[in-house]
A and B are shown apart, each in its own frame.
Chain A
Amino acid sequence: MNIHDIPHKAIRRSIHKAALFSIALLVLLLSYVVYIQVIESNTLAFHPLNRRTAETSRKVERGQITDIHGKVLALSKLSQQEYQREYPYDAVFSHVVGYDSPKYGKTGIEGIYDGYLSGQINPEKRLGAISQLFANGAGNTVVLTVDAQLQQVAYQALGNHRGAIVVMSPKTGAILAMVSRPSFDPNTLDTTWNSISQAASSPLLNRAAQGLYPPGSIIKVMIAEAALAEQLADKNHQFTCSGSLKIGSDYTLTESNNIAHGKLNLREALAVSCNVTFGQLALDLGRTRMAKYFERYGFTQLISSDIQESANQLPDFAKLNDGDLAQTGIGQGSLLVTPLRMAMLASTFANKGIMMKPYLVQKIMTPDGTILNQTSPVAWLSPADSKLASQVADMMVSVVKEGTGSAAALRDIQVAGKTGTAENPHGASHSWFIGFAPADNPQVAVAVIVENAGSGGTVAAPLARQILLQALR
């Protein structure tokens, strides 16, 4: 009764192939489901739009957020059977800590560490339904690296100006303070949301990590290091400043106030922030090497960390004409950076040429004090040689000692710094200062920007001085 002729063999062969294809489809599907449920699991489970965390968090006491000394920055209080979030420092920490609103979602630490704060990331969760038995009454505590007192001083220092201050430890990358003004009070979000979300001054924006500004003259510290590294200048090389630099037929780079600095070396050029010298150095470095140095200092990549930053904007070096290249060398043109990156730039020269990865969270603890996670400092990039970095650091000391940054000087402690006055299309120049102290053993690095406030030496430098004073107390 068997008919085993050739066509049946052929059909069998193609059915066999179709079978393999069908089963392969389902196996492919299975592996994709594994990917979603294992690898993407945490991202999806704690996505800010996933209402599951909100549903459970209403029943669970959300964890606290504290500063490095344990001062509470955010806590949950029970009112009418439901937990509500309170922020004792009002607007001072709003950009760092963020907010947790049932209506407007979560931002900052509240958003990024939601899984821990809501208690949903815990080891038992992996065990499935049994975690219901272990369900502890409260979420985990997130301890930040910031110092509440320093943060308050920085917040007060900016006053009613728009601007930002970043203070960090150059040796570890720990953020000690991060202030952005104008700010908002996360306690009253429900009533003020419309006005703050539409205000022209964008109080919701964290200017410290997401505000993009032309760096102005503070970028010269990086150009100085590049010039030393490429041997376009040494300590004693003499530059000549005639007050203006003619580039091509139709472009002239001028000094502010049209002062001719005359003959000067690199240290003196940095101290007086000589545009002609640094414009010329940018031209000498050329397009390729300029691009290379911006890349070395990390401007082309994002830091993957717990700080949400905006990407810095660099000019397209290959298409830049000479005039714009010289402008980039003095921090103008289409170059835009964040204050966080400028604090990291200062830190690099304070830390022997090594750029540490910035971080905000020191550790995460369960309610009973067991440490779940602890951050250890990580070197992110090593853009400069340690010898050259200390040469630049010395030059930055002269900036404060005898140059444009004298308003940042402290009585017994040597401060290194650089001022910047960044022209911009929105009105008066932005006032910049970056620096660190003590110069011989740096403990703290700072970046200050005050929007449309004028010269860096007269506005930002004195603010930096207050902050350094508080930080080194």
Chain B
Amino acid sequence: MAIKFERVSYQYQSIDKRGYLAIEDVTLSIAGEGEFITLIGETGSGKSTLVQHMNALLQPTEGRMNLFGIKIDKDTKRQKKVKLNPIRKQVGLVFQFPEYQLFEETVQKDIIFGPRNFGVSEAEAIKRAKEVIKVVGLDESYLKRSPFNLSGGEKKRVSIAGILAMEPDILILDEPTSGLDPMGRNALLKVFNDIHEKLNKTVLIITHDMNTVYEYAKRVLVMREGVLVYDGDPLQLFSRRNIENWNLETPEILKLQKALQSKFNIEIDNYPRSKKALFEAVKEGVKQ
């Protein structure tokens, strides 16, 4: 496993010295390829704190992590010899509103900034920029443009391209589709799905959108008050009765399926995986 957490806790320091526990006793493993994970939970439940541990931006105040073979615990900070840079290259983290972090004159300069920092030659970095710009669904002409004249969705794509250019094994995105219109959101989700399927990378997305969880994810992590309360299959999560107790919404597809099934006597598969599957089932069900 590329990422291993063993009973990891993190306490934030504050001026009043009391501090507060943002994540508590989290144990989990994530593979370095082929996973599509969503991380959900209420605001303030510790989701962002959790993922910031995954590339060692934060280090546990209790417990241990093993990130790509590098062992990290609360003493790591003091041991200056532990090199964390390789982890940052392998685990790419895209923050909330990454578009605010664009700063170069051209899209190309922005994309090659990361790889150049990790010692990649300029020629190689530019070659990568040409590849990743296509992965995020934009064409090469964008490389010469100024990032500041792009739309919100395009800026998000450029910042994701910048992380991809570092060729991480794991790509983590903190609420990547918030603020995008439906078409922009769907297009970006398709990009993540391609990164997962075609490049075989592990993709982890923090989201509040249960439809994303239901339609895309193969695994879902649920955080609640700093504690990891669920780690498993999305279907099983939504078939449990108590998801409302965790303040989670039912995905739209399931809501509609349940409403129709209780009101009309239509035979519909209990867990249609896509809109199309639900619509066709309703059409066939009505005909009978």
Do A and B pair up? The answer is no
Binding site for B on A (CB under 8 A): none
Identify the B interface with A (CB < 8 A). Answer: none
